[in-house]
Amino acid sequence: MNGEGMLSMSKPQSNPSTGTTRRQFLQTTALGAGALMGRAAFGDAKTQRPNFLVIICDQLGLDAIASHGCPDVRTPNIDRLVQRGVTFAESHSTNPVCSPARSSLVTGRMPTETGVITNTRPIHPSRPNMGQWFGKEGYEPVYCGKWHLPGGYPAEIEGYTVLPTGGGQGDLVDSTVSVSCEAYLRSRGRGKPFVLVASLLQPHDICYWAIQAKTLVPQELAFPQIADRLPKLPPNHKVRPRAPEKLDSIHYDGFSDAQWRYYLYIYYRQVEMADGDIGRILDALEDSGQAENTIVIFTADHGDGRGRHQHVSKWYPYDEAVKVPLIVSCPGRIAEGHRDAEHLVSGLDVMSTMCDYAGIPPPPDALGRSLRPLLERKPTEWREFVASQHHIIGRMIRTPEFKYVRYEGDPVEQLFDMKGDPWETKNLYDNAKYASVVKDHRKLLDDWETRLKTVEPTPDMSRRRRKRAKRK
């Protein structure tokens, strides 16, 4: 679509309860037009009360999975989910940082609405989390693994029974998470339906390969035997599009090309570590005889730079950080082996989807959409953009054709043509041809922002901040 094509998006009027605009365009699937799914289906779902297994990875980019086209990694277990369910190719984090993104996954609200605008903050007490919401509806909510709202591995989480874990980074803690989830699935009694969140830390360990590069990434390859197996650098490795100042300041220039390739090699091994743990949990679910009545939702909080735009880690609105896997499967209920590359989906949608299948209403003012019609390949109206927040003052919206980014008070904005330039190499915001597109996207973002029911940011509980506050 060119710039003129976006004129049709002007004057969007929104429905705050659904997160969609009035003039949604009808996006139909293979079955063509038909009745809307969603709320009408609560009655059916109630009779079955499915279990939910929510598997969350940390720092897993959408395209870092073999069945999503990555040639450098082997992920038979995530691929198993892809083959058995629906995978979304346009899935976005609400904020490509751990705590804010996680707050959205468990509340269905944007980070400015949960109070978790940066890492290590608790969810605002007025916002019920998934455990609290499902617990009062007769579910058994169980949490195992990384929480980070604010504590990393707390012994108690409001609304959940916690299977305790912790100790070490992903390499040491994730096997305990998967073994504990396995033990739970194999030994639990058959009373209430469960919501089990298995929250793995990998491939988050990759952060340390930049933080502790001196000891972990030597200048000369430490293992010559893998020289021919190192992944290639991405095509946008050296590209730095014009960006708002705060965004522009983030890049990593401490690696040679060889070091970058070793960094990628390590990242994919860490993805494979997570895949093994996912396999252990899925095996236990199947062996326990509960797979047929369990909806498995697999996602991540954010991706990793992987050398794209010279990035490591996350925090920024480029696709390497903001696009995350979202795969949903359940035999007999959800379409199998379908890749949805058409609909824009978000971490916000996890809660609404679960509520829909459980036959319970979503939390008040939850912004997410139930993915149920997409998962069952039924026709439905769908949203025309998803939003993401970053760096406290940064905002992004993504429409089918474009990505628009702005930072409060910064005159430099960003506009990328995501169809023609998927590697985000050319910032078009000051290209006169796209002036109307920029204008439309500004308006979309402004309208979206005014609809959010924001709360005061909750306190930053990181040790560093607490120490600083004490000194003051």
Partner 1 sequence: MSELKDHFTLDSITHHLMGFEPPVDAFDPQGNWEMTYGVYSLGSVRRGPGRRIGTVRVRRQVVGDGATLRIDTEKLQSGKTVHKLTAELHCRADALSTPTRWLLQTVTLDAEGKIVPNTRLKKSAEAKNGAITISHGKHERRISVGSAYTTNWALFDAVGRLPRKAFAPVRFTLTDNLDQPKPNHTLSFRTSDDVILGEKRVRQEKVVDLEKGRVKKTRWATTGGRPVRLHAYDHLGEGIVPEIYWVDDAGRLLFMVAGLEAYILDTKSGA
- Select the residue interacting with partner 1 from 5, 212, 337, 468 (CB under 8 A): 212
Output 171 or 245, the one with its CB closest to partner 1. Answer: 171
Output 72 or 440, the one with its CB closest to partner 1. Answer: 72
Output 74 or 443, the one with its CB closest to partner 1. Answer: 74
Query: Rule CB under 8 A: is residue 159 a binding residue for partner 1?
Result: no
Q: How many residues bind partner 1 (CB under 8 A)?
A: 51
Distance CA 304, CA 319 (A): 9
Surface-to-core class of residue 213, CB atoms within 10 Å of its CB (0-12 exposed, 13-18 middle, 19+ buried): middle
Output 116 or 206, the one with its CB closest to partner 1. Answer: 206
Minimum distance of partner 1 from residue 281's CB (angstroms): 11
- Select the residue interacting with partner 1 from 23, 74, 377, 451 (CB under 8 A): 74
Minimum distance of partner 1 from residue 220's CB (angstroms): 9
Give 312-355 as a DSSP string: -S--SSSHHHHB--EEEE-TTTS-SSEEE-SS-EETTHHHHHHH
Minimum distance of partner 1 from residue 132's CB (angstroms): 20
Query: Rule CB under 8 A: is residue 215 a binding residue for partner 1?
Result: yes
Confirm if 326 and 106 have CB atoms less than 8 A apart: no
Query: Rule CB under 8 A: is residue 156 a binding residue for partner 1?
Result: yes
Minimum distance of partner 1 from residue 454's CB (angstroms): 29
Confirm if 443 and 8 have CB atoms less than 8 A apart: no
Confirm if 323 and 305 have CB atoms less than 8 A apart: no
Minimum distance of partner 1 from residue 329's CB (angstroms): 19
Minimum distance of partner 1 from residue 175's CB (angstroms): 5
Output 72 or 340, the one with its CB closest to partner 1. Answer: 72
Whole-Å CA distances, 429 to 344, 364, 399, 437, 467: 22, 36, 15, 9, 41
Where helices occur in 115-202 by DSSP H, the ranges are 130-135, 170-187
DSSP collapsed to 3 states, 367-414:
CCCCCHHHHCCCCEECCCCEEEEECCCEEEEECCCEEEEEECCCCCCE
Paired tokens of 51: 């279990």
Of 263, 276, 255, whose CA–CA distance to 226 is shortest?
263
Distance CA 379, CA 29 (A): 5
- Select the residue interacting with partner 1 from 86, 149, 163, 358 (CB under 8 A): 163
Distance CA 251, CA 182 (A): 39
Output 81 or 351, the one with its CB closest to partner 1. Answer: 81
What residues does 140 pair with on adjacent strands? 194
Output 31 or 172, the one with its CB closest to partner 1. Answer: 172
Minimum distance of partner 1 from residue 191's CB (angstroms): 12
Minimum distance of partner 1 from residue 145's CB (angstroms): 11
| Strand order across the beta sheet in which 85-88 lies | 161-162, 140-145, 194-199, 51-57, 294-300, 326-329, 85-88, 338-340
Largest Cα span, the chain: 64
Of 294, 322, 326, whose CA–CA distance to 309 is shortest?
322
Query: Rule CB under 8 A: is residue 227 a binding residue for partner 1?
Result: no
- Select the residue interacting with partner 1 from 33, 155, 341, 432 (CB under 8 A): 155
Binding mask 269-288 for partner 1 (x = CB under 8 A): xx-xx-xxx-xx--x---xx
Per CB under 8 A, the segment of 95-103, 157-165, 298-306, 319-327 that binds partner 1 is 157-165
Site for partner 1 in 232-271 (CB under 8 A): 266, 269-270
Q: How many CB atoms lie within 10 A of CB 204?
A: 25
Binding mask 166-205 for partner 1 (x = CB under 8 A): xxxx-xx--xx--xx-xxx-xxx----------------x
For partner 1, the binding residues (CB under 8 A) are 74, 151, 153-156, 162-169, 171-172, 175-176, 179-180, 182-184, 186-188, 205, 208-209, 211-212, 215-216, 218, 222-223, 225-226, 266, 269-270, 272-273, 275-277, 279-280, 283, 287-288
